[in-house]
Structure 1
Amino acid sequence: MMKLTIREIAEAAGVSKATVSRVINDSDAVSEETRKKVLEIIKETNFKPSSVARSLSMKKSHLIGIILPDLSNPVFSKIIAGAESYIRNKDYSLLITATDFDIDMKIKHINIMKDKGVDGLILVTDHGSEEFQKTLIEFEKPIIMIGSDSSLPYIPTIKIDNYKASQDATQYLIDLGHKNIAMIRGPLSDYHSGKQRFLGYRDKLNCYGYYSERLVEEGWYTFDDGYSAMEALIKKGNLPTAIFCASDLLAIGAIKCCIEHGINVPDDISFVGFDDVDIARMYNPSLTTIRQPFEEQGDLAIRIMIDMIENKNSIPNDEDSKFTTSMKYKLVIRESTKNIK
């Protein structure tokens, strides 16, 4: 059957265009008899209202913004996959952008999202400046943080316990008999993925008297940084028997460097990564790592966001409010670690 315009729906039902709009938007200001008549015509004609028109009438864009640090990182693509899998059957679309870990770019993108009229904003990680915090306060629509705490206590956060996960990974290596355990960490300016993962490692080793600052190198979670950090450890001599890396890409870069230098993994050095991106199980040797529930984080963030948009009373708006979801992680044991007892 041919599709009609909203004006033609109104004429067929013998009502005004405004009444049809009220029915579409589920307004209470329409009698049940009129509502039934309009809905029957809509069903018969397969009428679908314009998303632009609905946005104007409901003062909603049906857009949810997501700002990531890096579009190329498989960690963040998994978060997007989780969000998209839930939202595809909802009347919302995602507007995605990345900052390349630049705080000024992050502030710029938040303001662009605000100008675009997004109904809510999902931020992946929150490390910034006073200006960044001010920008969040002025955003005035729902915000959710993935991967870290928020500087504003009323912003819901979804994360794992990075400190505890790193302690568990380090303890696993100790239980395998390793004492000389190095770490390739992220930057300490990145409070959760960088600093907290390092502190978990350091504090666990200190419990046994094993910590040595000379066995710590730093990188930005990438393959190349892992390779370079491993080169630095090799140049120092007295190689560790195990290395804990703050990301899988760091670990795989370091393993590649070991292979090229004739160092066997795991016979000479065991490796543990962090994240469990797809390449961790595909690489040879497959990588023992901490699995994060990235897709589940994206899915949960979208569910909470839509609820906040559609039920405004559920949006926290004072400093006494705090909503944090700490999700479960898992140590996945594969081929890159070896018992040396």
Structure 2
Amino acid sequence: MNKALTINDIARLCGVAKSTVSRYLNNGKVSEQTKEKIRRVIEEHNYEPNAFAQSLKAKKTRFVGIIAPGLDSMVTSKVIMAIDVTLRENGYNPLIINTSLRKDLEIESIENLVRLKVDGIILVATEIKEEHRHVIRQLNIPIVMVGQSSEGIVSIINDDYQAGFELGTYIREMGHKNVVYLGVPEEDVSVGIQRRKGVIDGLSYKNDSILINVLVSDFTSELSEKVISESLEKHQPTAIICATDRMALGAKKAILSHGLSIPHDISLAGFGGYDLANLVTPSLTTIKFENEKTGQIAAQTMLNLIAEKKVSELQTIGYELIKSDSVIKR
């Protein structure tokens, strides 16, 4: 096996000092003639610089930390993949940390990334507590928050209220007057409060005769199935709206286990626009969020902050209502 090329080797082959090669690799000042000579040697030998070693001497490490609440969510995965691609295309290296929905690990991860001297941090958040704000206020590097918003923090969110209002309005206009909404705890402000409020306002807009039963689960299909199954033992709605598509799949299992059909007995809708929503039968009526766009904007916002460019403190991403076979008119 050939020995890997070193900076010393490049300097020898180019007839320049090691410090000149180091300046070139760190985008320092080097003459055009020397740049071309170094570039040609690097390409001929397929040299790949050690990014960590470079970061020790460079003012910018070209690393960005990404803190995720979990990697098993389709939405989070799409957002993170888009962040990853956009950062890499712009010469930055993502460091992805999974916290498994543990808030203490989120705080610890922020502190650890600062010690690693990353150029910035992107936090995909489900809940923001005072502990988060306290740590973030002390940062001397930029941070971008995705999924939640907080005053003084650059944030990128879905338009949860309007999305909920549009889906609630659609279910009402389809003639449903007995509706269950399956949501998540209020600690998640965007989904647990804003999305739920939008649905309820859309359902009840200019119509106070609609019966709305609000139930609470977590983001798993397993608990969602259990909550809906227990609810169906007491009364049968004409429609169930779930805070996510994954929760809707759990609700679907509960409906079918009670010998009921979708949509003839109960219509079903969710949020997320997952690809699997089109693979189930009947296909799921859902709000499709622009997850890839969210990731791209999060990454570009971070790049702008690192470059000390002005950015909006709050950016809201749009959505699309996908009307499918799981909802019928009453």
Task: Assess, with a 3 A threshold, how the Cα gap between structure 1 residues 273 and 18 changes in structure 2: closer, same or farther.
Answer: same
1:67 matched to 2:67? The reply is: yes
Partner of 2:313: 323
Cα offsets for 1:113-159 (capped at 9, x unmatched): 2223322211112523222111112232121111121x242x33222
Task: Assess, with a 3 A threshold, how the Cα gap between structure 1 residues 92 and 273 changes in structure 2: closer, same or farther.
Answer: same
Q: 1:78 is paired with a residue of what secondary structure?
A: helix
Q: C-alpha displacement at 1:11, in angstroms?
A: 3.2
Q: C-alpha displacement at 1:40, in angstroms?
A: 4.5
Identity between Structure 1 and Structure 2 (%): 34
1:303 matched to 2:304? The reply is: no
Q: Contact 1:2 / 1:45 at 8 angstroms: preserved in 2?
A: no
Q: 1:114 is paired with a residue of what secondary structure?
A: helix
Q: Which amino acid aligns with 1:331?
A: L
Q: Distance in 1 between matches of 2:269 and 2:8?
A: 64
Q: 1:314 is paired with a residue of what secondary structure?
A: coil
Q: C-alpha displacement at 1:49, in angstroms?
A: 2.7
Partner of 2:241: 244
Cα offsets for 1:282-332 (capped at 9, x unmatched): 1222210000111221122223223333x1x2266xxxxx43222220011
Partner of 2:156: 158
Q: Distance in 2 between matches of 1:130 and 1:89?
A: 34
Partner of 1:314: 309
User: What is the aligned counterpart of 2:329 among 299, 321, 339?
Assistant: 339
Q: Distance in 2 between matches of 1:331 and 1:9?
A: 56
Partner of 2:273: 276
Task: Assess, with a 3 A threshold, how the Cα gap between structure 1 residues 49 and 249 changes in structure 2: closer, same or farther.
Answer: closer
Partner of 2:10: 9
Q: Contact 1:119 / 1:142 at 8 angstroms: preserved in 2?
A: yes
Task: Assess, with a 3 A threshold, how the Cα gap between structure 1 residues 216 and 45 changes in structure 2: closer, same or farther.
Answer: closer
Q: Distance in 2 between matches of 1:112 and 1:4?
A: 32
Q: Distance in 1 between matches of 2:6 and 2:250?
A: 58
Task: Assess, with a 3 A threshold, how the Cα gap between structure 1 residues 25 and 70 changes in structure 2: closer, same or farther.
Answer: closer
Q: 1:23 is paired with a residue of what secondary structure?
A: helix
Q: C-alpha displacement at 1:177, in angstroms?
A: 1.1
Partner of 1:135: 135
Task: Assess, with a 3 A threshold, how the Cα gap between structure 1 residues 52 and 105 changes in structure 2: closer, same or farther.
Answer: closer
Cα offsets for 1:85-109 (capped at 9, x unmatched): 3344443332222333332221122
1:168 matched to 2:163? The reply is: no
Q: Distance in 1 between matches of 2:119 and 2:266?
A: 49
Q: 1:335 is paired with a residue of what secondary structure?
A: coil
Partner of 2:208: 209
Q: C-alpha displacement at 1:22, in angstroms?
A: 1.7
Task: Assess, with a 3 A threshold, how the Cα gap between structure 1 residues 336 and 300 changes in structure 2: closer, same or farther.
Answer: same
Q: Distance in 1 between matches of 2:88 and 2:24?
A: 24
Task: Assess, with a 3 A threshold, how the Cα gap between structure 1 residues 46 and 128 changes in structure 2: closer, same or farther.
Answer: closer
Q: Distance in 1 between matches of 2:128 and 2:172?
A: 35
Q: C-alpha displacement at 1:31, in angstroms?
A: 4.1
Aligned CA RMSD, in angstroms, stands at 2.4
1:288 matched to 2:285? The reply is: yes
Q: 2:54 is paired with a residue of what secondary structure?
A: helix
Q: C-alpha displacement at 1:15, in angstroms?
A: 3.0
- Map 1:38-53 onto structure 2 (within 5 A): 38-53=38-53
Q: Distance in 1 between matches of 2:286 and 2:275?
A: 11
Q: Contact 2:148 / 2:155 at 8 angstroms: preserved in 1?
A: yes
Q: Contact 2:177 / 2:211 at 8 angstroms: preserved in 1?
A: no
Q: C-alpha displacement at 1:253, in angstroms?
A: 0.8
Q: 2:145 is paired with a residue of what secondary structure?
A: strand
Q: C-alpha displacement at 1:54, in angstroms?
A: 1.6
Cα offsets for 1:151-201 (capped at 9, x unmatched): 242x33222210110010011111111111220111112100111111112
Off by >6 Å, runs of 4+ in structure 1: none
Q: Which amino acid aligns with 2:24?
A: V
Total equivalences in the alignment: 328
Task: Assess, with a 3 A threshold, how the Cα gap between structure 1 residues 32 and 80 changes in structure 2: closer, same or farther.
Answer: closer
Q: C-alpha displacement at 1:64, in angstroms?
A: 2.0
Q: Contact 1:202 / 1:211 at 8 angstroms: preserved in 2?
A: no
Gaps of 5+ in 1: 317-321
Q: Distance in 2 between matches of 1:14 and 1:97?
A: 42
Partner of 2:230: 232
Gaps of 5+ in 2: none
Q: Which amino acid aligns with 2:239?
A: A
Q: Distance in 2 between matches of 1:173 and 1:315?
A: 41
1:20 matched to 2:33? The reply is: no
